[in-house]
Structure 1
Amino acid sequence: MCSRNRLKSIKAIIFDMDGTLCLPQPWMFPAMRQAVGLQDPSVDILTFIEALPTPVERLEAHRRIQQVESQAMAEMQPQPGLVTLMRFLTINGISKSICTRNLREPVDYLIDRFLPAEYSNFDYILTREFKPTKPSGDPLLHIARSLGIEPANIAMIGDSRDDMLSARAAGCQTVFVHHASNASLLASDEDSQMIDFVVSDLTQLVTLLSV
């Protein structure tokens, strides 16, 4: 991990959602894999679904994972420091966007339920309908181009390897939201090299951006 003590020259923040803006729900991804019969942990679930042989099978698989996501949405809780960070970004004119492999409905639910209206504006929200999804750097580069901001002046905030891979591919700075479910990434030399900063709650980002 980088030895710098602050995020430098940040003009925009791009957030993951699950496990980042809201608390992690460790049961969700295993439940999604079980719902579509995916047993190989090395295979990406969206890649698996897109490779199914018929449109009917792909539609049914998407329906099944959406059922899991609907349950997760009903149980969603905000990440500590969410409102504090969004207030800081809004007051200081730092652009905020979301890039998630989830659907739009849970994103809107999080924003409507847990954020005051004055802090709830996001410049861009990309869901898994944008192709290719993370870990490709393309969605982050799309946001950077749309904002007219160099990737080096953007920070990606996420809690997964896909988030860090996407940010590195796009040339963004990285902040890893650490929790009990993703501690193994910090233990891996290869993965930890992609991480510039580690936080355990979102209020720590205010410090990183203010120092």
Structure 2
Amino acid sequence: MSSTAPGYSLRQRRFAPLNPDLSAKSNAPPLKGIVFDVDGTLCEALGIDKSVDILEHIRSLPTLKDRMKAVSKVQAIEREAMLRQQPQPGLVELMDYLESRGMRRALCTRNFEAPVTHLLQTHLPKHVFLPIITRDTPDLLPKPDPAGILHIAREWGLDNRADNLIMVGDSIDDMTAGHTAGAATVLLLNDRNTHLKDHEHTDLSIERLDDLIDILENGFVGHRGGDKAPTEGREEEA
């Protein structure tokens, strides 16, 4: 099911601080939840997105048998890759912080369910993400369509699309899906996506996941289009 939605015009996105002492003094809207991509965002990129790209061509295969065989091959690629999963720096620290602030978290990924489950069970066994949107979720088009993020907003009982959410990812599809759903967007920088830092669909960029802690604690302030300034991240731990 497609959730075709008009793209939101460029606007500075702001959310009240999660620190209760500061939020009482803020007139910014409250943040109601954060949606995360998986491969390249919660875990270091393993090239799983390449297998996802293959899926886009499967629809053109002539028979159902051919399509099922191709999907099985893609799933095998992802199962092999998931055994090499490594968490992104700052992953556990960020999730512990969000849990301490009672912040809801969900996942929206184009990967199959198996590598997602493996990541959560291996690196985040005490954390809850609901709902979890994967390639296996029926009736929802994958990113860059905003359908998955809008579904999450509805599941959380929000009545203003995804206006009170943040989408965190590492690709243009993550930024576009979040933007067109109405969410603020945060780009996790890597060697391949720095050109997206100034993209009109990117509200903020970070170098490590736990860079978000100070940002959210003191109040999220995004940057519009070419007016965006780089966000300083913590230096890599030795």
Alignment of 1:101-116 (within 5 A): 101-116=110-125
Quote the offset at 1:105 in angstroms.
1.1
Q: Which runs of 5+ in 1 are unaligned?
A: 34-43
After superposition, residues 40-189 of structure 1 pair within 5 angstroms as 44-117=53-126, 120-130=127-137, 131-149=140-158, 150=160, 151-186=162-197
2:90, 2:208 within 8 Å by CA — same for their partners in 1?
yes
Q: Give 2:40's aligned amino acid.
A: G
User: CA deviation digits over 1:137-196, x for unaligned, max 9?
Assistant: 11100100110124111000000111111111110000001111222333xx6xx11100
The letter for the 1-side match of 2:92 is V
Match of 1:21 in 2: 42
Q: Aligned partner of 1:110: which letter?
A: L
Number of aligned residue pairs = 192
Q: Rate the CA distance shift 1:7–1:204 in 2: closer, same or farther, 3 A.
A: farther
* Residues 17 and 98 in structure 1, CA contact (< 8 A), matched pair in contact too: yes
- C-alpha distance 71-7 of structure 1, shift in aligned 2 (>3 A): farther
| Higher helix residue share | 1
Cα distance in 1 for residues equivalent to 2:178 and 2:48: 24
- TM-score of the superposed pair, with normalisation by structure 1: 0.84
The structure number with the bigger radius of gyration is 2
Name which of 197, 211, 214 aligns with 1:207.
Answer: 214
Identity of aligned residues (%): 39
Tell me by how many angstroms 1:3 deviates. 7.0
Offset of residue 51 of structure 1: 2.5
Structure 1 runs of 4+ off > 3 angstroms? 1-4, 27-30
Query: Retained in 2: the 8 A contact 1:97–1:122?
Result: yes
Shift of 1:108: 1.0
Residue of structure 1 in register with 2:27 after alignment: none
Does structure 1 conserve the Cα–Cα contact (< 8 Å) formed by 2:44 and 2:87?
yes
TM-score, length of structure 2 as denominator length:
0.75
Kindly state the Cα deviation for residue 77 of structure 1 after the two structures are TM-superposed.
0.2
Q: 1:3 to 1:154 in 2, by over 3 A?
A: closer
Matched AA of 1:195: T
State the SS of the aligned residue for 1:140.
helix
Long gaps (5+) in structure 2: 1-9, 17-29, 219-238
8 Å CA contact 1:16–1:98 kept in 2: the answer is yes
Judge conservation of contact 2:49–2:111 (CA < 8 Å) in 1. Answer: no
Whether the aligned pair in 2 keeps the contact of 1:152 and 1:172 (CA below 8 Å) is yes
Query: Could you say if the C-alpha distance between residues 29 and 144 of structure 1 is closer, same or farther in structure 2, counting changes exceeding 3 Å?
Result: closer
